[in-house]
Each structure stands twice: as structure tokens, then as C-alpha cells.
Amino acid sequence: MRRLVHFSPVDGRIWLADQRMLLVHAAAFQALRRELVASLGPEHARRLLMRAGYASGERDALLARQVRPGASLFDAFAVGPQLHMLEGAVRVQPKVFELDEAASHFHGIFQWDHSWEAEVHQRAWGPQGAPVCWMLLGYASGYTSAFFRRPALFKEVQCTACGHPHCLIEGRFEHEWPDGEQLARDYDPDSMLVRLGELQSQADALRTQLQPADDQGPLLGRSRAFNDTVELLRKAAPTQVTVLLTGETGVGKERFARALHAMGPRADKPFVAVNCAALPADLIESELFGAEKAPTPAPPPRAWAAERAHGGTLLLDELGELPLPAQAKLLRVLQQGEVERLGGTQPRKVDVRVIAATNVDLEKAVEEGRFRRDLLYRLNVYPIRIPALRERADDIELLAMHLLQRYAALHGKRLAGFTDLAMTAMRQHAWPGNVRELENLVERGVILAPNDDLVDAAMLSPPPPRPRRTP
């Protein structure tokens, strides 16, 4: 078991298999415990610490299943108590271990010695009338529930803090306790804390989440670079100003464009996105602005983009690819609100808000004669640069968790999250492919990870970077 612990003093980390661990002074936990009891009262403090212990027990249960594959159920289960000892929490000796999975029966009694919690609690508050090994007890319940994948709960029936020679805990599946429901309530988030948590997440949501009216998902982020960008969008949204979105491939320019549309007065009108690089030069002009006579070969019979977007927003993605004749028409749309169909003579009024997006340097395209300077000036009134993912390192965890949920739902998987090692790897990666690369990686991890488990770093190993798309 000790081989699972890896001290990495050079970079200041300690690992238990792939989980990052901390070597913390018991005295620090004692100080924290004092503060919690003083500020929340003993009942809230007790439940809060139980839940913290529960979370760490759950983590160790995931590990236990990997450590001894093929061992007897008892030996596999024993990993938890052994990890708990290794982590310095308490000495554990099993007294009773009955398990009949088919009959959904579990009964376990374990003796605890040298509980750090009983020790620090007594030091702070003296002898106790009720057991105090709260985190340890939470650990036992969390570990056992996650190990058997069904709710199991422990009670501390003796505690050295109450003057007993040992601490003693007894566990059963929740349905086997007559007071199971009441015991389980200790692990429900506390009402007061829940309220605070709810208010906090509402505030976070309002701050960071702009829900565009489509299935592209919300804009998510909390990093400085992200917030600055959203602030620029928010200021532009109520106006008619033409916005030029720039940024590397894969940063999500269309998503930001949809958010801009959704924040403005045209939100209930159409949003039409046209990728200027997706159609051959001779078709893009008629696709955008229409033609009096159908071009050959004819595009699918539907209204032209500029007309479909009437009253709403027209996104021109990869604008650097727009051919020069179409650039002239676009300029006319921007300057006069008029569009002239291909081969037509009568200009038609069109009311669209134009958002342009590009990952090429338009200034350079102007110098090379591929892009009209007057159009660039017209577009460049309000440029917004979408930051690369590596400039948004603080958003990676949020985005990765969001994507995990999305892909888990899509692929019908149940996953608990990422290992600490995987999260560290994601934070350190340079993300040349930006959010799109993150999406691909997380989807791959979701597919590879076993159900009820964490996505680990190996499942995320990025494929070799693809060459950047060249216009």
C-alpha cells in the first residue's frame, strides 16, 4: 500500500496513486475545527466535517477497486481501512464483517484506536458526552457506500472522547438501519449552507453564464480574460455596431457571436451563420445576397442568408475568405442597409446586424490585395479578440466539468469527474486547438472512462497536434 504514496518534493506535490494528497498538521485541523464550531455551532460543524470525510472516503473507494482486482471482497474492502491508517487518521481493526450482496445485507463493526479527531477534540473541549470522530465516520460511510455502490451508513457507538477504551463503529446498508433515513440526513447539505451555496451559485451563474438560445451551450468562464471579453460583448449588444471577432481557430467565435445576438434587442429574431470558407467563391456571393437567376450549379432552394437574417443577426465566419465582389456588396449592406442581388439592378433594403469573425490577419490580407481596405475600416470599429484557452487557464476546470456532463449525457455514462492528475495535466497543456481541442479530449475521456469512475490523465492523452488550418 505504501508504494501508492509518491513524494515529489521538487514540484511540491504528494500523490496517492493519481490523487493529490496533503500532509497537514493535525493542529491545523484542530484550529479549523475550533473555528467551525465557533462560527457554525457544533451541529453544523459536525455535519460539515462528516461530509468532508465522506468525500475522501468516496475517493479512496475508487482507488480500492483498482488496487486489488481479483482479490476476495473482504480483501478488496480492506483497502479502505488500510488507506485510512496510511493517511494517519486512525488504526482500524475489523471485528465483524458480514456481507451478502445478493440479499443486500451488510453488517460491519470496526474498532478504532488513536483517532486523531478524538485526540484534538478532547484537547480543545475536554471529555465529551457524545462521540466526536466525525470526519472519520463520514469517511467510513463514504467509502463503504462508494465501494458497494449503494448507501451505507456508520454510527460511532463508542468513542475515546467519551471515556471508552476504544472508538467503535458499526455500519449497515441504509435500508437495514431502522433510523437509516435520519442518519442519511447528516449527509444532506445543510439548509443554511445550502441557501448560501444557492445564492453563491446564482451569483456565479449571473456573472458567468449567458445562455444563448441554441444548443451550442452557454458561455462559461470566470477568468479575467473571459470576463473582459464578455464585458465588451455586453456593451456592444444593445447597439447596432458591427462587431469583428478575432481569435485563434477553435476559441468558439460562433458561440460568442450567438451570445452577443442573444444579449441584444434582436434576440428573438433569426441568427444566421454563414461560413465564407465553406462554399466556392462563385457560390458564396449568391448564398449571401441572392441572385436574380439561379447560378449553376444551383444551391439548395431556400432564402438567401441576408434575407433569412432580416431583423436579426448575420454572422460571417472566416470573413477573410470572402471574395472581392462579395466584399463590395457587404460594404453596401453595412453602409446603406441595401443588398443587390447577383445579376440584379434593384437594390433591396435589408435590416441585419453583421458580426464578422476571422482567424486571419485582415490587415495583412489588405496588403496582399485580397481584402478591401474600406471594408476593413468599416468592420474594425469594434473589434473583440476572443482569448485563447491557454489565456483562460482559470476556466479550464469549469469548462471541462461542463463538457464532462454534456458528453456523459450524450454517451449515457455516469462519471464522477476528473482525477487531480488529469486536471493538472489539462491546466498545464498549451491547447493549440483551444476549446475545440478540449471538447475532443473530454469526449474521448468520457468514452474511455469506466462508469462510476473518474476520468484520469491517461484517458486524456492528447493526440498529436493537428496542423493549423491555413486559409
Q: Which residues bind Zn ion (CB under 5 A)?
A: 115, 118, 133, 159, 167
Least separation in angstroms between CB 230 and Zn ion: 50
Burial label for 405, CB within 10 Å (0-12, 13-18, 19+), is middle
Q: Which of 381, 125, 346 is nearest to 240 (CA)?
A: 381
Least separation in angstroms between CB 115 and Zn ion: 5
CB nearer Zn ion, residue 150 or residue 155: 155
> What is the separation of C-alpha 29 from the centre of its chain, rounded to a whole number of angstroms?
29
Least separation in angstroms between CB 170 and Zn ion: 13
CA atoms 161, 162, 166, 168: torsion sign: negative
Least separation in angstroms between CB 441 and Zn ion: 44
| Nearest-angstrom CA–CA distance, 141 and 144 | 5
Least separation in angstroms between CB 132 and Zn ion: 6
For residue 339, list its beta bridge partners.
348
CB nearer Zn ion, residue 45 or residue 159: 159
| Nearest-angstrom CA–CA distance, 144 and 162 | 25
Which residue do the cell numbers 476520468 mark?
455
Q: How many residues make up the chain in this entry? A: 471
CB nearer Zn ion, residue 164 or residue 348: 164
Q: Helix (H, G, I), strand (E, B), or coil: what is residue 65?
A: helix
Q: Which of 50, 53, 57 is nearest to 77 (CA)?
A: 57
CB nearer Zn ion, residue 119 or residue 351: 119
CB nearer Zn ion, residue 133 or residue 355: 133
CB nearer Zn ion, residue 118 or residue 357: 118
Least separation in angstroms between CB 133 and Zn ion: 3
Q: Say if residues 344 and 332 touch (Cβ distance below 8 Å).
A: no
CB nearer Zn ion, residue 79 or residue 159: 159
Least separation in angstroms between CB 168 and Zn ion: 8
| Nearest-angstrom CA–CA distance, 409 and 428 | 27
Helix 116-125 vs helix 134-148: crossing angle, to nearest 10: 150
| Nearest-angstrom CA–CA distance, 230 and 227 | 5
CB nearer Zn ion, residue 91 or residue 444: 91
Least separation in angstroms between CB 81 and Zn ion: 15
CB nearer Zn ion, residue 137 or residue 388: 137
CA atoms 140, 145, 147, 148: torsion sign: positive
Among the residues of 97-223, which ranges form H helices?
116-125, 134-148, 180-185, 191-208
Q: What are phi and psi of 454, to 5 degrees?
A: -100, 150
Q: Helix (H, G, I), strand (E, B), or coil: what is residue 359?
A: coil
C-alpha distance across the termini of the chain, in Å = 55
Least separation in angstroms between CB 249 and Zn ion: 58
